[in-house]
């Protein structure tokens, strides 16, 4: 019997059964049957632990709760019964924190960015050769944002032979049954699997839209730079960060057009203003995004943060960035404030880029020219006599705007 080979790229959440359900459907619900020669599983730390224990039979501890997961090898007999032989090659891919540990789950925008970059890079890698085996992507597992990123990746990189599928399990109680992995035996005889072949735009195949070399050299950056600006308003021509005590109007970020017309104003906490200015200074000096490890436990960085806060009339320096988690929380808080405003939210949130042993912070493209103004009385603020420790963002003293 002829068997059609393919490579499976599948998202998994907390249910490893999605893997066996998808392979079973492709092998048993079409003619000729399709059998995977390689499987790429994209999941989180929690998903990887559950896959290891509940499908591959490897002893594992739950990464969040710490309790032992009972190992059961369902994979070997499944491959023997459904595929008629030894298991295909299987690789598990998880996004990692800056300390190298697997990300347990997708909980915030930074986590999502790490997963998205992994997804774009992996799909681009597996579809690089135009005549290679077809890649079938499965969106059935994981969070909705994970599925959205996989579909985006396939829309950009998929070749004519590649497919996207989703598997529905009925009745619903079978989907919730921890012992159900595919229709067999007492836990699956009444189950029905419906495979959905998903339609998606194949931009790579459109005439005149071939992928440039940059798309495969750095897929994640290519996707973000090309897609982030679509459907967004034009960026501001310049930015002005105004530092003042609360009684004099407080901190704010003004977004202006080329004529100086005010487009939008974003009120900022003093610590948020400090985060913005410190990261802007660092990226200008570095010429690109900056590793988080270079920003923590750094006396020069803390001096800049303190100077910003002092110029708002605060008497105490902000709590130092002692760990990368401290930094991440401040960046997330700044981004939340920026995203509350349409223009700032479209162009100014700080972006992350996973590195082998760190996380880089910065922007997709250079920020518009950024000026820093202080309230005239701000020169008497505590710490002002220590100077303004920014090289690329000079401080201008001017009366507050009327």
Burial label, 364 (beta-carbon count in 10 A; 0-12, 13-18, 19+): middle
- The residue ranking higher by pLDDT, 146 or 400, is 146
Instruction: Identify whether residues 301 and 203 lie together within a single domain.
Output: no
**What is the b/e burial string over 80-102, where b = at least 16 CB atoms within 10 angstroms of the residue's CB?**
eebbeeeebebebbbbbbbeeeb
Residue 211: predicted pLDDT: 66
Domain hosting 244: range is 238-398
Sign of CA dihedral 171, 87, 125, 162: negative
Instruction: Identify whether residues 181 and 255 lie together within a single domain.
Output: no
Instruction: Identify whether residues 221 and 264 lie together within a single domain.
Output: no
Instruction: Identify whether residues 333 and 209 lie together within a single domain.
Output: no
Count the domains in the chain.
Answer: 2
Instruction: Identify whether residues 222 and 344 lie together within a single domain.
Output: no
The number of CA neighbours under 13 Å toward the Cβ of 265 is 10
d(CA 398, CA 401): 9
Instruction: Identify whether residues 218 and 247 lie together within a single domain.
Output: no
d(CA 153, CA 157): 6
CB 397 within 8 A of CB 378: yes
- The answer on pLDDT for 220 being more than 70 is yes
Residue 381: predicted pLDDT: 44
Where among 197, 227, 257 does a domain terminate? 227
Q: Is there a domain that residue 232 lies in?
A: no
Burial label, 234 (beta-carbon count in 10 A; 0-12, 13-18, 19+): exposed
Q: What share of the chain is helix, strand, coil (3-state, %, to 5)?
A: 35, 20, 40
The kind and range of the H/E element at 110 are helix 109-126
Instruction: Identify whether residues 161 and 298 lie together within a single domain.
Output: no
- The answer on pLDDT for 401 being more than 60 is no
Q: Is there a domain that residue 233 lies in?
A: no
Lowest-pLDDT choice from 199-208, 242-251, 276-285, 362-371: 199-208
Establish whether the linkage from the previous residue to 253 is cis, with ω within 30° of 0: no
pTM for this prediction: 0.68
d(CA 361, CA 331): 9
Residue 391: predicted pLDDT: 93
Instruction: Identify whether residues 105 and 213 lie together within a single domain.
Output: yes
CB 249 within 8 A of CB 242: yes
Instruction: Identify whether residues 183 and 209 lie together within a single domain.
Output: yes
Helices 109-126 and 144-157, packing angle to 10 deg? 30
Would you place residue 400 in the very low, low, confident or very high pLDDT band (cuts 50, 70, 90)?
A: very low
pLDDT, tens digit, 9 for 90 and up, residues 317-343: 899 999 999 999 999 999 999 999 999
pLDDT, tens digit, 9 for 90 and up, residues 174-214: 878 888 898 876 656 678 899 999 999 888 876 555 566 66
Mean of all residue pLDDT scores within the chain: 87
């Amino acid at each position: 019997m002829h068997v059609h080979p393919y490579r499976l790229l599948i998202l998994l959440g907390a249910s490893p059964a999605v893997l066996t359900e998808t392979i079973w459907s492709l092998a048993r619900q079409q003619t000729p049957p399709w059998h995977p020669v390689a499987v790429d599983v994209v999941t989180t730390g929690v998903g990887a632990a559950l896959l290891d224990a509940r499908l591959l039979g490897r002893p594992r501890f739950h990464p969040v709760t710490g309790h032992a997961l009972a190992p059961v090898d369902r994979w070997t007999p499944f491959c023997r019964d459904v595929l008629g032989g030894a298991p295909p090659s299987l690789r598990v891919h998880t996004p990692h924190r800056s300390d190298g540990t697997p990300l347990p789950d997708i909980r915030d925008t930074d986590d999502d960015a790490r997963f998205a970059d992994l997804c774009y890079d992996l799909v681009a890698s597996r579809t690089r050769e135009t005549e290679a085996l077809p890649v079938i992507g499965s969106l059935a597992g994981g969070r909705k944002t994970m599925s959205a990123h996989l579909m985006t990746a396939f829309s950009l990189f998929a070749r004519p032979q590649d497919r996207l599928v989703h598997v529905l399990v009925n009745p619903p109680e079978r989907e919730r049954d921890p012992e159900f992995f595919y229709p067999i035996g007492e836990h699956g005889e009444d189950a029905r699997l419906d495979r959905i072949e998903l339609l998606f735009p194949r931009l790579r195949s459109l005439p005149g839209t071939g992928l440039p070399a940059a798309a495969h050299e750095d897929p994640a950056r290519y996707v973000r730079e090309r897609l982030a600006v679509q459907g967004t308003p034009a960026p501001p021509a310049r930015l002005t960060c105004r530092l003042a005590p609360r009684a004099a109007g407080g901190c704010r970020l003004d977004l202006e057009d080329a004529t100086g017309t005010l487009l939008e104003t974003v009120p900022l906490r003093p610590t948020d203003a400090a985060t913005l200015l410190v990261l802007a200074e660092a990226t200008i000096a570095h010429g690109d995004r900056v590793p988080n490890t270079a920003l923590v436990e750094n006396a020069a960085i803390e001096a800049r943060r303190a100077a910003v806060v002092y110029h708002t009339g605060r008497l105490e320096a902000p709590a130092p960035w002692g760990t990368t988690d401290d930094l991440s929380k401040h960046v997330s808080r700044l981004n939340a404030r920026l995203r509350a405003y349409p223009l700032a939210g479209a162009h100014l949130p700080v972006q992350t880029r996973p590195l082998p042993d760190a996380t880089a912070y910065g922007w997709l493209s250079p920020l518009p020219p950024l000026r820093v103004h202080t309230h005239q009385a701000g020169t008497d603020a505590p710490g002002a006599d220590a100077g303004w420790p920014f090289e690329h963002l000079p401080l201008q003293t001017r009366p507050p705007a009327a």
